Amino acid sequence: LSVGGPRLTLRYAVERDAVALYEMARDPQVTRFFSWGPYRRPAQARAYIARQPRERREGVRLDFVVEHAEHGVIGVTGLSELSRRDRRATVGTWFGRAWWGSGANAESKALLAALAFEHLGLWRLGAYSHPEHSRSAAALRGIGFKREGLLRGYHRHGERQLDVVVWSLLCGDWEGSRLRSEPVRVSGGLPRGWVV
Ligand SMILES: CC(C)(COP(=O)(O)OP(=O)(O)OC[C@H]1O[C@@H](n2cnc3c(N)ncnc32)[C@H](O)[C@@H]1OP(=O)(O)O)[C@@H](O)C(=O)NCCC(=O)NCCS
């Protein structure tokens, strides 16, 4: 499966992407608000890639590398927490530090939203942000996500149980949003189990 836009393409990770993912996610700034990382060894990126096919099959996680037409892999975006019954999933994204503020976030979310709403049949994309991660909040708001509230003690990071801010973009929001105006090409088979 490949989802292509003007500059970026979402595709499944393959083994040779491990080096690029490792180089970006070894930066503590990139994983600062995550439950994992920073990567200490390339093997951690390889292990992440190796578990993707099973997680995809089992409906656990549908992750893509974000590939720039000239610069190669610049980050990761994807879906988790699929509820087929409720037609919703949660989006998560990270980019190498050099790509923050580059417009890659909006384009990659446009691609993922088109896939989710137009091809997978989802109705709601949720997202979480750390209460102190104002950049993530501004980025989500900027592409049309609405802040819904604070989930208390929702994510466990190491020994800490953290509150998270919850956001959403509904199919109807997306239809009227600037994300929708990006041209999107979807090619290849859709992942079975993710089409609701
Ligand atoms: C979160 C992430 C995906 C957002 O992508 P991005 O390219 O940085 O986002 P954008 O530049 O499109 O938008 C960021 C917005 O925050 C603003 N901003 C920048 N630094 C900020 C800060 N310190 N505090 C508040 N807002 C800030 C920018 O001005 C921009 O707002 P604008 O569009 O109104 O100008 C990216 O920063 C990233 O990969 N971070 C590391 C991984 C991560 O934390 N992922 C998110 C987990 S929820």
- Over residues 23-36, the pLDDT tens digits come to 999 999 999 999 99
Mean confidence (pLDDT) of the chain:
97
What residues pair up with 11 in beta bridges, in sequence order? 2, 65
CB 98 near ligand 1, within 6 Å = no
The reported pLDDT for the residue numbered 94 is: 98
What percentage of the chain has pLDDT greater than the value 70? 100
Q: What spacing in Å lies between the alpha carbon of 168 and ligand 1's midpoint?
A: 17
For residue range 54-98, what is the model confidence (pLDDT) as tens digits?
999 999 999 999 999 999 999 999 999 999 999 999 999 999 999
Residues 143/109, Cβ–Cβ less than 8 Å: yes
Query: Residue of the nearest CA to atom 8 in ligand 1?
Result: 100
- The pLDDT assigned to 166 comes to 98
Ligand 1 touching residue 28 (CB < 6 A):
no
Question: Contact at 8 Å (CB) between 116 and 79?
Answer: yes
**In terms of residues, how long is the chain?**
196
Whether the pLDDT of residue 113 is over 90: the answer is: yes
The answer to whether the CB of 191 falls within 8 A of the CB of 61 is: no
* Percent of the chain at pLDDT exceeding 90: 99
Angle between helices 42-50 and 18-25 (to 10 degrees): 120
What is the 8-class DSSP label of residue 118?
A: I
Provide Rg for the chain, Cα atoms. Answer: 16
Residue 117 is given by DSSP the state: I
Asked whether residue 182 carries a pLDDT value surpassing 90, the answer given is no
Tell whether ligand 1 has an atom less than 6 A from the beta carbon of residue 30: yes
Does ligand 1 have an atom closer than 6 angstroms to the CB of 105? Answer: yes
Global pTM reads 0.97
